[in-house]
Amino acid sequence: MAKNLYARVTATILAELEKGVVPWRRDWRSIAGSGIPHNAVSMRPYRGTNTILLWLRAQQQGWSSLGFLTYKQARDLGGTVKQGAKSGLIVFVKQLVVKDHDNENVTKLVPMLRAYSVFHTSQCDGLSEAILNPAAKSPRNPDARDPLIDAFTAATQADVREGQGEPVYHPGGDYISMPCFTDFTSADGFYSTLFHELTHWTAHKSRLDRNLKSRFGDLHAYSAEELCAELGASFLCAEFGLDNGKLQHAAYLQGWITLLKHDARAFFTAANRAQEASDYLRRLALADQPVAA
């Protein structure tokens, strides 16, 4: 069952990539409320693979907000799911307690992937206006530097060297080189590229310790790390309301397709690592904030 579920999700992502569609790239300014899919009742964001699955579902259906809930949650709120509405797939890992084969007195936890169904808020009747229509974000200047994102980047204490050539993270020197801000056609392009390199930066052994040594000698390792950086950047772009839909890394597409065909779990791994990376960067930024008196 779990094996089939990994294959099912991977096939869904592969189908989009083979059409040249990258589900995690979009103009997040057009999304009402949070750009990260979230449970409309608890407001907790979905994470990792589920984020991409719900992004894709919203894209396919033309939904402009990203609130979801279960059938039971809609009913508990006094609402109903519209007749004929089709649910979307999300997945969770459930830890099962099983007995050891060699010693029945010893138990261990075995992760098991499970599927769940959720509905978009627009597929329901009887929900409150606040749930159905989240407040729109304040407009931002797409051509100017963003003080909030600049403060976020500074808080990570990453060594970012602007005006020093092509965007790349240098693991040996542990620094990021970036072109000048004015070399980009938009602020969105600059920051989405910077987020990509910041995700690579989290891989350093002093941080999340992802192995980068073999990525340039192994096609699968290279594609896996680039996919992780792509997803991590997209999580941050969605959170800050940037447009990363116009940036297409066509050279990466075939590598991702090959990787996912080679390993049905590779997308889950990349999404989980990307989630860890964006969480790590967020923690660094929050830790830099002054404590209120």
* Domain-embedded: residue 99: yes
Residues spanned by the domain of 221: 139-293
**Considering the entire predicted model, what is its pTM?**
0.91
Please report the pLDDT score of residue 224 as a whole number: 94
DSSP states of 226-257: HHHHHHHHHHHHHHHT-B-SS---HHHHHHHH
| Phi, psi torsion values for 105, nearest 5 degrees | -85, -5
Structure tokens at 273: 């690592």
pLDDT in tens, 2-21: 669 999 999 999 999 999 89
152 and 283 within one domain: yes
pLDDT tier for residue 213 given thresholds of 50, 70 and 90: low
* Domain-embedded: residue 248: yes
pLDDT tier for residue 291 given thresholds of 50, 70 and 90: very low
132 and 151 within one domain: no
* Domain-embedded: residue 7: no
Please report the pLDDT score of residue 293 as a whole number: 40
203 and 60 within one domain: no
147 and 95 within one domain: no
Give me the percent of the chain exceeding a pLDDT of 70. Answer: 92
| Phi, psi torsion values for 280, nearest 5 degrees | -60, -45
Structure tokens at 4: 């089939």
Number of domains in the chain: 2
CA distance 220 to 206: 24
Is residue 88 predicted with pLDDT exceeding 80? yes
Is the separation of the CB atoms in 244 and 233 below 8 Å?
yes
152 and 235 within one domain: yes
124 and 84 within one domain: yes
91 and 42 within one domain: yes
| Domain end residue (candidates: 136, 159, 190) | 136
Is residue 115 predicted with pLDDT exceeding 60? yes
- Length of the chain equals 293
Element at 7 (helix H, strand E): helix 2-18
Side-chain half-sphere CA neighbours of 261 within 13 A: 10
Please report the pLDDT score of residue 22 as a whole number: 92
CA distance 196 to 169: 9
* Domain-embedded: residue 5: no
Least confident segment among 18-32, 153-167, 247-261: 247-261
Is residue 128 predicted with pLDDT exceeding 80? yes
CA distance 213 to 171: 9
Is the separation of the CB atoms in 247 and 25 below 8 Å?
yes
How much is the average pLDDT of 195-204?
97
Please report the pLDDT score of residue 2 as a whole number: 64
CA distance 198 to 254: 23
| Domain end residue (candidates: 92, 116, 136) | 136
113 and 151 within one domain: no
146 and 291 within one domain: yes
187 and 120 within one domain: no
Is the separation of the CB atoms in 125 and 80 below 8 Å?
yes
194 and 243 within one domain: yes
Question: % helix / strand / coil in the chain, to the nearest 5?
Answer: 45, 15, 40
CA distance 45 to 67: 9
* Domain-embedded: residue 239: yes
52 and 124 within one domain: yes
* Domain-embedded: residue 6: no
| Domain end residue (candidates: 136, 157, 186) | 136
* Domain-embedded: residue 27: no
* Domain-embedded: residue 131: yes
